[in-house]
Amino acid sequence: MIVTVTFNPAVDHTIQVDAMPASGEVARTDEAKFDAGGKGINVSQYLTGLGADTVATGLVGDFLGEYIRTELDEASIPADLVEIEGHTRLNTTILSDDGEFKINHDGPGVDAGVVDDAIDAIARHDPEMVLVAGSLPPGLGTDAIDRIARAGEWDAVVDVGGATLQELDAEYALCKPNREELAAATDRPVETVEHCLAAADALRDRGFDRVVASLGGDGALLASPDALVHAAALDVDVADTVGAGDAMLAGVLSELVDEEDERAALRRGVAVASRVVANAGTTVPSFADLDDAVARVELTDRSSVRE
């Protein structure tokens, strides 16, 4: 069982307009889309598609929080959400011929007591792994993540920003930065795969047993006590990269929760991400015949970087 924690979920609101209006003008559209968003929720979505046992928890409030509850229920994603007094944030993306414009809310202000509620929700499901992912709402600091890591016998996993990774103090089974987050967490260069391997290995010294980093077109890497490995990206026609990192993490965790073959987990993560980027939008793709894609992922041992 993998429980995901999204402290600051959102309803993602996407609209399409022909052009951005001038001041005082009104732009009208009949193109609008609403999605339940948040990194932990996304990972649970992909885990469900992979047939893994998962429960999504997090903080939700008001009518937007109710929308997330409804969306998860309709998608058959198990959830045990914590109700708060504030309202869940609304993140708006405006697409037009002028470009892509984003307006994101910071999130509702909360107090530290909600962390106890989140821990209670996690403990009800007796998970082997707990993933904390995404940003923190106003009122919570990185100690909220450390508290969850220390609260049970579960393996704690994080997918958070690089600055947040620098501040965490507990022990973690795994973290999953992207290239930019790896640079921010280590203050090291990440221009080449070799740079990224060295940075990921250095990040392990800060309390992360394993580091799995997504590198876009350069594939992914794994740094652990027993391995320093690079996985090449699969050759697919990329339609949309949204959700690729969350999909990769879901693939990795779905393998690690059952066994300790970390190389197989990295292969599976890359294969899952390749299915997601080949499809436009955030809908979970079919994972039929995934083993064929897993078998095509090429791994290269890069332990020489440690020498």
Which active-site residues does the annotation give? 246
Nearest to 168 by CA among 138, 148, 189: 148
Helix (H, G, I), strand (E, B) or coil at 3: strand
DSSP string, 216-264: GGG-EEEE-SS-EEEEPPP----S--TTHHHHHHHHHHHHHTT---HHH
Q: Which residue has the tokens 């391997």?
A: 197
What is the identity of the amino acid at 294? V
Contact 203, 186 (CB under 8 A): yes
- Residue 168 CA, chain-centre distance (Å), reads 17
Burial class (CB in 10 A: 0-12, 13-18, 19+), 208: buried
Helix (H, G, I), strand (E, B) or coil at 200: helix
Nearest to 210 by CA among 218, 219, 220: 220
Residues 6+ positions from 189 with CB-CB distance below 8 Å: 183, 195, 199
Token readout for 206 is: 């800060």
Q: Which residue has the tokens 């690729």?
A: 244
Mode of pairing for the β-strands spanning 155-159 and 299-301? unpaired
User: Which phi and psi angles does 137 have, rounded to 5°?
Assistant: -75, 160
